[in-house]
């Protein structure tokens, strides 16, 4: 087990290293364009050269990458060109806001999708199963921005129950969180429900479930004590991998509802060529994604006795 965990951590480190090279090359391969972004399109060649000189851009590429990585690991992401403050000052609060959004989304999405998936997979082919399956196809077909538009047309424009933006200008407001969370839950729920259904349906056909039913155990007990234990291993991985999807989803949702989160920051930075913010956001996003994948793998191995004792 320890070897397995160490190997997964090693893979994670290698992936992060490769990603950092990719991000660095993509954004900083040409020093000229970096200087143009930093100093603006109306700067003179002389100014750009001076800036490049002062910031060590005339060193070889690999030295620049080494310095860049060193600063990054030490939490120095450079300054935001737009806000004129260190990137870390704006990044962490934004990340905290997105964490709130993500946690509430998961707190709603996981129970709902697990219950739906188990209910559908319990009796494969039943009317309930078909209804849940078709519904989950429909909800995953509607892109996040479209369900955001539909939900705000109903709840904001027509019924006037909820605010249309979630800027949290007057402090934290639960009401402003409802629509963004709903949009994310609707989109992600279908997939997790389908995976849970498949896993549950799989378990229901195994001999030990048939034995449990045939020896006369109450059906509810067969489901809760026997089936769920094995059926919920696969969804655990799916849910962890869902965090990767959520990182894409929050960009759309935060942009739509003007929520001051990490996704909106990345998008604004990209649209404004705020290069050091883009780099920091990209690395943080990938770190979160890779870390959750690693946790998913290790967790799967830990939960699955076939691997744990294997």
Partner 1 sequence: MNQRLPSAPARDSAFRRAVRRVALLRESPVGMIGAGIVLFWVLVAVLAPLIAPFEPNATYHPYARPGAGHVGGGTFWLGADMIGRDILSRIIWGTRTVLVYAPLATFSAYVLGILMGLAAGYKRGWVDEVLSRLGDVLLSFPVLVLYIIVIATVGASGVNIVIAITVAGAPGVMRIVRGLTLEIGSRDFVAAARLRGEPAWYIMAVEILPNARGPLIVDACLRLGYVTITIGVLGFLGLGLPPPDADWGSMINQARGVAMAFPHMTVFPCIAISSLVLGFNLLADGLREISLRD
Query: Does position 307 bind partner 1 by CB under 8 A?
Result: no
266 sits near partner 1 (criterion: CB under 8 A):
yes
- Indicate which single residue of 273, 300, 301, 303 sits in contact with partner 1 (rule: CB under 8 A): 273
Axis-axis angle for helices 127-141, 174-204 (nearest 10) = 130
Beta carbons of 268 and 12 less than 8 angstroms apart: no
Burial 27-41 (b: 16+ CB within 10 A, else e): bbeebeebbebbbee
Smallest distance from the beta carbon of 250 to partner 1, in angstroms? 9
Q: Cα–Cα distance between 267 and 258 in angstroms, integer?
A: 12
If one asks whether residue 251 binds partner 1 (CB under 8 A), the answer comes out as yes
Q: How many residues bind partner 1 (CB under 8 A)?
A: 47
- DSSP three-state, residue 118: helix
Minimum CB separation from partner 1 for residue 215, in Å? 31
Tell me if 100 sits within 8 A of 108, measured CB to CB.
Answer: no
Nearest to partner 1 of 213, 270 (CB atom): 270
Strand partners, 86: 79
Quick one: 150 or 161, whose CB is closer to partner 1? 150
Comparison of 70 and 150: residue with beta carbon closer to partner 1:
150
Nearest to 280 by CA among 61, 34, 37, 24: 24
Nearest partner of 108 among 180, 14, 22, judged by Cα: 180
Residue 142 near partner 1 by CB under 8 A: yes
Q: Rounded distance, CA 301 to CA 310, Å?
A: 10
Which residues in 160-179 contact partner 1 (CB under 8 A)?
164
The one among 132, 222, 252, 296 contacting partner 1 by CB under 8 A: 252
Q: Would you state the torsion angle of the CA atoms of residues 147, 151, 153, 154, taken in this order, to the nearest 10 degrees?
A: 140
Measured from the CB atom, is 182 or 286 closer to partner 1? 286
271 is a site residue for partner 1 (CB under 8 A): yes
Between residues 91 and 212, which has the closer beta carbon with respect to partner 1? 91
What percentage of the chain's residues is helix, strand, coil (to nearest 5)?
80, 0, 20
For partner 1, which is the closer residue by CB, 200 or 285?
A: 285
Tell me how far apart the alpha carbons of residues 310 and 307 are, in angstroms, rounded to a whole number: 5
Q: Is the Cβ of residue 126 or residue 141 nearer to partner 1 in the bound state? A: 141
As measured in angstroms, the least distance from the Cβ of 242 to partner 1 is 11
Q: Does 206 contact partner 1 by CB under 8 A? A: no
Among 15, 43, 49, 304, indicate the residue that binds partner 1 (CB under 8 A). 15
Binding to partner 1 by residue 13, rule CB under 8 A?
no
User: Which tokens in the block code for residue 299?
Assistant: 């967790």
Query: Which residues here bind partner 1, judged by CB under 8 A?
Result: 11, 14-15, 18-19, 22-23, 26-27, 134, 137-138, 140-146, 149-150, 152-153, 156-157, 164, 244-245, 247-248, 251-252, 255-256, 266-267, 270-271, 273, 278, 281-282, 285-286, 289-290, 293
């Amino acid at each position: 087990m320890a070897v397995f965990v160490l190997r997964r951590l090693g893979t994670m480190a290698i992936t992060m290293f490769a990603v950092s090279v990719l991000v660095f090359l993509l954004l900083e391969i040409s020093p000229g364009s970096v200087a143009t972004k930093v100093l603006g399109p109306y700067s003179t060649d002389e100014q750009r050269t001076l800036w490049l000189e002062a910031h060590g851009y005339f060193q070889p590429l690999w030295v620049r990458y080494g310095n860049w990585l060193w600063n990054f690991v030490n939490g120095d992401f450079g300054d935001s060109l737009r806000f004129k403050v260190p990137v870390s000052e704006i990044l962490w609060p934004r990340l905290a806001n997105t964490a709130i959004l993500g946690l509430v989304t998961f707190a709603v999405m996981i129970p709902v999708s697990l219950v739906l998936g188990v209910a559908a997979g319990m009796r494969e082919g039943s009317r309930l199963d078909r209804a849940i399956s078709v519904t989950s196809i429909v909800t995953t077909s509607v892109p996040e921005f479209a369900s955001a538009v539909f939900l705000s047309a109903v709840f904001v424009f027509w019924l006037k129950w909820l605010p249309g933006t979630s800027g949290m200008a007057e402090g934290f407001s639960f009401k402003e969180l409802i629509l963004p969370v709903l949009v994310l839950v609707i989109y992600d729920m279908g997939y997790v429900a389908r995976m849970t259904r498949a896993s549950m349906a799989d378990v229901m056909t195994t001999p030990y479930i048939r034995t449990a039913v045939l020896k006369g155990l109450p059906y509810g007990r067969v489901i809760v004590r026997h089936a769920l234990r094995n059926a919920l291993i696969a969804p655990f991985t799916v849910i962890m991998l869902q965090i990767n999807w959520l990182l894409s989803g929050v960009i759309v949702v935060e942009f739509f509802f003007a929520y001051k989160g990490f996704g909106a920051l990345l998008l604004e930075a990209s649209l404004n060529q705020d290069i050091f913010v883009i780099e920091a956001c990209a690395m943080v996003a990938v770190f979160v994604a890779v870390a959750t994948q690693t946790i998913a793998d290790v967790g799967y191995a830990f939960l699955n006795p076939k691997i744990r004792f294997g």
